[in-house]
Amino acid sequence: MAKEAPVKVFAGTNTRQLAEKICKSLGCPLGNMNIQHFADGEFVVSFEESIRGCEVYLVQSTFPNSDNLMELLLMIDAAKRASAESVIAVVPYFGWARQDRKDKPRVSIAAKLIADLLSVAGIDRLITMDLHADQIQGFFNVPVDHLYASSEFVKYIASLKLKDMVIASPDVGGSKRANSYAKYFGVPLVLCHKSRAKANEVESMTVIGDVQDKNVILVDDMVDTAGTITKAADLMIDRGAKSVRALASHAVMSDPASQRVTDSKMTEMIFTDSIPFNKNCPKVHIISIADMFAETIRRAHNNESISSQYII
């Protein structure tokens, strides 16, 4: 009779801290893996313990630079060649997701390419969180468990006990996400309309809705240079808002994002630890998603419902 495959969790270099928290929540040790670097920047991945017949979870966010993605691909390949029964990529932040369609001629669809690379490398399942575009799930021919940080964020928002609260989106594209929060809390929704001069640079912005004497919660999936989110926050304060807080799942925070957040009129910027945030920014507050991912791994292993753990 076949035995149930044991679970083993391994971490990529830059997501090790989150993986250690996940393992602590699961009550299992983090697997032993070695990554050896050569002088020219090339590296080799090796598992330092047997994973034959195991259900292997590889925790690695593919945030810049590209070494993180390459490291994950090599981890998957090494696991398949070491006779793992199944290989599950746990990618809290799925990078390259902003290129999910052809919005002009002669451009790549990077999100589809990354999906193909992961599939060819040999994953049996993907666990990720707050994709930039939901349709990226359709780029995979293996099961995708798409998690939502909202279940952690709503607890924090509720703990603030804000009166006269409104939920806002810094752009029209995020209106669906923000509307979910607005419906859950039973508060109004406010939208910002922006036009860009070029990528990462906002030319103009207007607010659609009333923020006078309101406590605003700005909702987004990621913050890169923080140009949009800080401009929206400052504009809402200028329009009479009492306070503005912003929350986003992924702290990409490319320079000069930390300085922009510090200099802005927002009260607080809330992120998850899907990407390690090590920069000095007193307004940033980090909420851990380790327990949520640990529970998802536990449910996936036991073939239990994953969607039932979400509030919104």
Q: Catalytic: which of 8, 21, 112, 194?
A: 194
Count other Cβ atoms within 10 Å, centred on residue 207.
Answer: 18
The DSSP bridge pattern shows strands 86-91 and 43-47 to be: unpaired
Judged by phi (left if over 0) then psi (alpha if -120 to 50, else beta), residue 24 lies in alpha
- Look at residues 96, 16, 102, 104 and name the one whose alpha carbon lies nearest to residue 59: 16
**Sheet strands (E) in the chain:** 7-11, 33-37, 43-47, 55-59, 86-91, 125-129, 144-147, 165-169, 189-198, 201-208, 215-223, 243-251, 268-272, 284-287
Beta-strand ranges (E) seen in 131-175 are: 144-147, 165-169
* Catalytic (active site) residue 176: no
Q: Which one, of 230, 220, 228, 212, lies nearest residue 251 by Cα?
A: 220
Strands laid side by side in the 165-169 sheet: 201-208, 189-198, 165-169, 215-223, 243-251, 268-272, 284-287
What gap in Å lies between CA 274 and CA 290, rounded to an integer?
9
Max CA distance (Å), the chain? 69
Residue whose pair of structure tokens reads 């640990």 in the numeric block: 294
Tokens of 305: 């419902």
Which tokens is 154 given? 């709503």
Distance between CA atoms of residues 226 and 68, nearest Å: 23
- Catalytic positions, written as ranges: 194
